[in-house]
């Protein structure tokens, strides 16, 4: 194929390619990226942008990392892929061992999925198959909280926030689930039993139908960037135990240190029955996710009518993805990520705080390597996006939220450029 000019590329991109949550032809052009290294994206026209997004929570170690490149190159020379039916390989086995080591001690079984949404589908199917195999035909529904986000496939979508997820567009097709109010307690609030009232009453009323509760622990990500108290999670675990309901934790965004702990559930010291990992699992290199579960779940399913768990993707446990994932996790664990994330948190909290004085700002918050400026009204993407790019930073707001989620390797000077751009641009709105 001949090389394309930037204009030709932009034309095809705008006319023919769907981007996430986009229309066609696109309402505004995307920015062509030619390369990325460390915390910098280089655009096709040569401009450099400091990355404040980690490519949606994924690129923990920045881009083009020599150790991650080496892991993938060395695996590539052996094999890029083989089917996982009837075959296995060292990258999958080593990664499994690592994941079992870093997750709560009841979690011992791993299912590799190709994306976060698929990992959620798998988790939901595991919960449903568990109850079916327990000869309980009533437990077929899920309970979650509002403002959540769990992915875009149909079952995953059914547990996303019903309003922002526009459930009405798909009514009759997506399964109907139970929704409690979003946790009202902030991360550091002292516990008050009233915070769980709505959730508890749904459990009391419908527990015979509820197969599982599904939650993003501590941080609700794409559904609103909300941080809530670990006590809420502890109470959810107790209620699930009391009413015989499984607990699925969606750690796809919170996993691998983003909230200041290796996993979100470690803030609360609780153990889920089923857990999903994704996003930063490969350090942002390739798509890979995992659904992990306890022996209790796997043995019940395996002794049931089908005798097997009913799922098996073509690219399951892709060796390239597993190899880079092992390298990314080892790199993370051997780094001083806790102190890096802690200093990112305090810098975000301090440098974003001027936004608190702005009349059109609802709230400013920081937890781990996540900083959020919540506005009272939604932003206009067509005008705000070019402002960030002209400041030399890559920040992509959504709805009422301008947020930063930089790679953990970011230096204070670069982070300061990100926060300064957010404060200035928020101030101009």
Ligand X SMILES: *Cc1c(COP(=O)(O)O)cnc(C)c1O
Binding residues (CB under 6 A) for ligand X: these are 115-117, 120, 149-151, 216, 221-222, 250, 252-253, 278-279
Q: How far is the CB of 251 from ligand X (least distance, A)?
A: 8
Q: Other CB atoms closer than 10 Å to residue 143's CB: what's the count?
A: 25
Tokens at 217, concatenated: 């622990």
Give whole-number Cα distances, 137 to 19, 40, 141, 174, 210, in Å. Answer: 40, 52, 11, 19, 11
Distance CA 181, CA 190 (A): 19
Q: How far is the CB of 78 from ligand X (least distance, A)?
A: 26
3-class state of residue 331 by DSSP: helix
Nearer to ligand X by C-beta: 277 or 348? Answer: 277
Nearer to ligand X by C-beta: 216 or 231? Answer: 216
Tokens at 243, concatenated: 């009413």
Nearer to ligand X by C-beta: 210 or 248? Answer: 248
Q: How far is the CB of 159 from ligand X (least distance, A)?
A: 10
Q: Are 154 and 169 in contact (CB under 8 A)?
A: no
Cis peptide before 25 (omega within 30 of 0): yes
Nearer to ligand X by C-beta: 62 or 264? Answer: 264
Contacts 24+ apart (CB under 8 A), 161-170: 161/223, 161/224, 164/223, 164/224, 164/399
Q: How far is the CB of 349 from ligand X (least distance, A)?
A: 22
> What is the DSSP annotation of 156-213?
HHHTS-TTTTTGGGGTTTSPP-EEEPPP-S-TTPPP-GGGGHHHHHHHHHHTTTEEEE
Q: How far is the CB of 165 from ligand X (least distance, A)?
A: 12
Q: How far is the CB of 354 from ligand X (least distance, A)?
A: 28
Give whole-number Cα distances, 223 to 104, 147, 158, 163, 257, in Å. Answer: 26, 5, 13, 10, 20
Nearer to ligand X by C-beta: 200 or 267? Answer: 267
> 393: which strand partners?
50
Distance CA 175, CA 67 (A): 43
Q: Are 247 and 212 in contact (CB under 8 A)?
A: yes
Nearer to ligand X by C-beta: 89 or 150? Answer: 150
Distance CA 417, CA 248 (A): 38
Tell how strand 107-113 and strand 289-294 pair up: antiparallel
Q: Which residues are catalytic?
A: 21, 149, 250, 279
Q: How far is the CB of 254 from ligand X (least distance, A)?
A: 7
Give whole-number Cα distances, 151 to 16, 148, 222, 326, 403, in Å. Answer: 24, 10, 9, 24, 20
User: Which residue of the chain is nearest ligand X when measured via CB?
Assistant: 116
Nearer to ligand X by C-beta: 132 or 408? Answer: 408
């Amino acid at each position: 194929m001949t090389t394309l000019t930037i204009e030709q590329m932009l034309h095809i991109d705008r006319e023919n390619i769907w981007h996430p949550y986009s229309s066609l032809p696109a309402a505004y052009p995307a920015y062509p990226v030619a390369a990325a290294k460390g915390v910098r994206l280089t655009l096709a026209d040569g401009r450099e942008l400091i990355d404040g997004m980690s490519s949606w929570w994924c690129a923990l170690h920045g881009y083009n990392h020599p150790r991650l490149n080496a892991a993938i190159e060395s695996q590539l020379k052996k094999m890029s892929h083989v089917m996982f039916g009837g075959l296995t390989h060292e990258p999958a086995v080593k990664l499994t061992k690592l994941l079992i080591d870093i997750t709560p001690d009841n979690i011992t079984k791993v299912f590799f999925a190709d994306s976060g949404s698929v990992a959620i589908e798998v988790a939901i199917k595991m919960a449903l198959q568990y109850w079916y195999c327990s000869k309980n035909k009533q437990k077929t529904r899920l309970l979650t909280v509002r403002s959540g986000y769990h992915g875009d496939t149909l079952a995953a979508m059914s547990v996303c926030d019903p309003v922002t997820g526009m459930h009405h567009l798909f009514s009759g097709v997506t399964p109907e689930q139970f929704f409690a109010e979003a946790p009202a307690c902030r991360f550091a609030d002292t516990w008050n039993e009233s915070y769980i009232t709505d959730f508890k009453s749904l459990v009391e009323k419908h527990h015979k139908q509820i197969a599982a509760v599904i939650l993003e622990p501590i941080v609700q990500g794409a559904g609103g960037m909300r941080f809530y108290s670990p006590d809420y999670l502890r109470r959810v675990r107790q209620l699930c135990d009391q009413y015989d309901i499984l607990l699925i934790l969606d750690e796809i965004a919170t996993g691998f240190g983003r909230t200041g702990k290796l996993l979100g559930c470690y803030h609360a010291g609780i153990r889920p029955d089923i857990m999903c990992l994704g996003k930063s699992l490969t350090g942002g290199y390739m798509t890979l996710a995992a659904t992990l579960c306890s022996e209790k779940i796997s043995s019940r399913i395996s002794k049931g009518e089908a005798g097997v768990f009913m799922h098996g993707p073509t690219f399951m446990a892709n060796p390239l993805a597993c190899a880079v994932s092992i390298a990314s996790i080892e790199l993370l664990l051997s780094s001083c990520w806790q102190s890096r994330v802690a200093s990112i948190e305090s810098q975000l909290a301090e440098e974003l705080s001027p936004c608190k004085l702005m009349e059109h700002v609802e709230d400013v918050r920081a937890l781990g390597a996540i900083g959020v400026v919540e506005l009272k009204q939604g932003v206009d993407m067509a005008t705000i996006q070019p402002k960030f790019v002209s400041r030399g930073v890559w920040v992509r707001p959504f709805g009422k939220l301008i947020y930063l989620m930089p790679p953990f390797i970011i230096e204070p000077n670069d982070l300061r450029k990100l926060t300064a751009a957010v404060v200035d641009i928020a101030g101009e709105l």
